[in-house]
Structure 1
């Protein structure tokens, strides 16, 4: 197996840390981008919100993966926090893309994060990568986020975007908040439960990113979601079955809006997103069903 040097921005987050572990376990050299002073040759200083990165430190990297960004579900969306969500993604991506483009020998591939939020509210409509962006904060953010990688694309670097769904994992993200509730027997549907949730097991998320790294013929947007999205009601029932807990509690929509503010639109909204291009490329999901994904977590 060819040993590769891969830079990972966001290596302390849910997806980035799992990706870094997977790559390291297979013998690859992972350069982690950090906001503090580097503690060794495999760390590189950057400040995504200010758009600053040490370009020289990326020299010799075969690939750059950017999954950095302030957590969308970490807190209520004040105007200040929305700015942080935006700047950490858009400015960070632009800085990395420019750094990549400036190198005499740029990396072969740049895999940049995005989100299924690109499509906004889809209702019962199934959407793949050919669908246009939706409207609102997250779709507009995703459009700008992907556009920020332009410098790398213009420099001829193969660039892929990961429009990731809700990652099923205990360690963070939406499911990191759901597991304790369901384990305590307090889980239940949200709103009327008819909204579609497009999910992906953390194992499959990492495997899909590695698939994009390895395949020289893949570029552009890829939906990183399980093949068959389910409704919140169906997912709630599956969580109850796997964890052997009742799912009697339902959180009414007005309560979610009071507690979550603007972010409640994502919880109550419906996104029926399918991974058409990923499947067409030959990728195989290890945990395509929700019960398997929950057990894996």
Structure 2
């Protein structure tokens, strides 16, 4: 990639901060969207819930990457928190899409965050980008999130939806919660452990996002998951082996439902999602297997 000017929303999050480090280390100019007054040319003020973006600050950007949104697993899904998750993603995406569409010279690509939650519980069957949305809160959220980018698509900007899986990282995301439990010898399978988890190493997530920016042939939904989804039972075994800890515990489904509430349905649900379009476009994973990904995170 030639030296580019790239705007990143959600630059302080797990994925966004890693993406920014990667881009800056390769000499690219990164513009961060911040929820306060901008302090220089490398910042743009925005307020996703109020649908405000200082569009002038995005002028000259070759790409805009939107990774903003409250964490799905950060809190119990009360109605208030579900509104927070939805508003940040849907209103923020709509505001960014309208901002880039309004520019005299718009960016060549708008990469919009999304998630494999789009597919819902798909059981044991493999699903790729051609699968329809599932039922429930997360699929409905992902559909609305992607639809919110309509202004950018209608303006002719190449728009890509990065449907990300469970990111394997030492801090943050699902594994940020799993690692301390397993290190303490308290890790174990969730429910019967037969549900598929579609994971992706943080290194590969960042590389895939950059691939989406660079690959002119890609638009629409692209699954950002490793090519070998595994069951929760297999993940439990790998975590125990890598961390040299026993994994005697199992959390029964009824207990998860009491502790997690509505979110338990997604923890216990199965999503065997494969990155068909990513692989077809020539992307190569550095950490395709779960043990590779866990060791890389550590």
Shorter-chain TM-score bucket reads over 0.9
> Matches of 2:39 and 2:269 in 1, distance apart?
43
> Matches of 2:260 and 2:170 in 1, distance apart?
21
Per the alignment, residue 98 of structure 1 pairs with 98
Q: Which runs of 5+ in 2 are unaligned?
A: none
Displacement after TM superposition at 1:116 (Å): 0.1
Q: Deviations over 1:113-157 (max 9, x none)?
A: 000000000011110000000011000110110010010011010
Equivalent residue of 2:255, what SS? helix
How many residue pairs are counted as aligned between the two chains? 297
Per the alignment, residue 196 of structure 2 pairs with 196
Per the alignment, residue 56 of structure 1 pairs with 56
Scaled by the length of structure 2, what TM-score is found?
Answer: 0.99
Per the alignment, residue 19 of structure 2 pairs with 19
Matched, 1:225 2:234: no
Displacement after TM superposition at 1:221 (Å): 0.4
Equivalent residue of 1:167, what SS? strand
Q: Deviations over 1:149-207 (max 9, x none)?
A: 01001101001000000000012011100000001111000000000000000000000
> Matches of 1:67 and 1:291 in 2, distance apart?
26
Per the alignment, residue 8 of structure 1 pairs with 8
> Matches of 1:260 and 1:169 in 2, distance apart?
22
Q: Deviations over 1:25-72 (max 9, x none)?
A: 000000000112222211111111121111111000000000100000
> Matches of 1:129 and 1:261 in 2, distance apart?
29
> Matches of 1:8 and 1:27 in 2, distance apart?
15
> Matches of 1:209 and 1:230 in 2, distance apart?
22
Matched, 1:78 2:78: yes
What's the Cα RMSD here?
A: 0.7
Equivalent residue of 2:6, what SS? strand
> Matches of 1:132 and 1:211 in 2, distance apart?
24
Displacement after TM superposition at 1:254 (Å): 1.1
Equivalent residue of 1:71, what SS? coil
Displacement after TM superposition at 1:217 (Å): 1.3
> Matches of 2:91 and 2:63 in 1, distance apart?
19
Per the alignment, residue 207 of structure 2 pairs with 207
> Matches of 1:214 and 1:111 in 2, distance apart?
11
Per the alignment, residue 296 of structure 2 pairs with 296
Scaled by the length of structure 1, what TM-score is found?
Answer: 0.99
Per the alignment, residue 186 of structure 1 pairs with 186
> Matches of 1:203 and 1:228 in 2, distance apart?
16
Displacement after TM superposition at 1:229 (Å): 0.6
Per the alignment, residue 278 of structure 2 pairs with 278
> Matches of 2:218 and 2:21 in 1, distance apart?
23
Per the alignment, residue 244 of structure 1 pairs with 244
> Matches of 2:271 and 2:203 in 1, distance apart?
21
Q: Deviations over 1:253-273 (max 9, x none)?
A: 111111111011111110010
> Matches of 2:95 and 2:44 in 1, distance apart?
13
> Matches of 1:38 and 1:174 in 2, distance apart?
31
Q: How does 1:11-160 map to 2 (within 5 A)?
A: 11-160=11-160
> Matches of 2:258 and 2:16 in 1, distance apart?
32
